[in-house]
Amino acid sequence: MCDKIETIEDETLVAKRLRNRPIHTYMCNECSERIEKRTKERIATGNFKLYESKKTEEDW
């Protein structure tokens, strides 16, 4: 979201997730907190809908 460059340790869970799933992106803590705050503000207005994918149950 911003142009901030941060270093991530190779052995951390975040680094592993980024290596194994390249579609995921990394957000710095400032951007993450800002998005979380604004999302909560929009939810409080009542005009916010979160579209989640429907989970299907698999019977084995």
Residue 22: predicted pLDDT = 72
Task: Tell me the average pLDDT across 27-31.
Answer: 87
Average pLDDT of the chain, as a whole number: 84
Name the DSSP letter for residue 2: -
**Residue ranges of the domains in the chain?**
13-45
Angle CA 43–37–24, to nearest 5? 95
**CA atoms of 48 and 33, how far apart (whole Å):** 18
Two structure tokens written together for 59: 């019977």
Percentage of residues in the chain having pLDDT higher than 90: 13
On the question of pLDDT at 60 being above 70, the answer is: no
Angle CA 50–23–8, to nearest 5? 105
pTM recorded for the entire structure: 0.58
Task: Tell me the average pLDDT across 22-48.
Answer: 87
On the question of pLDDT at 53 being above 80, the answer is: no
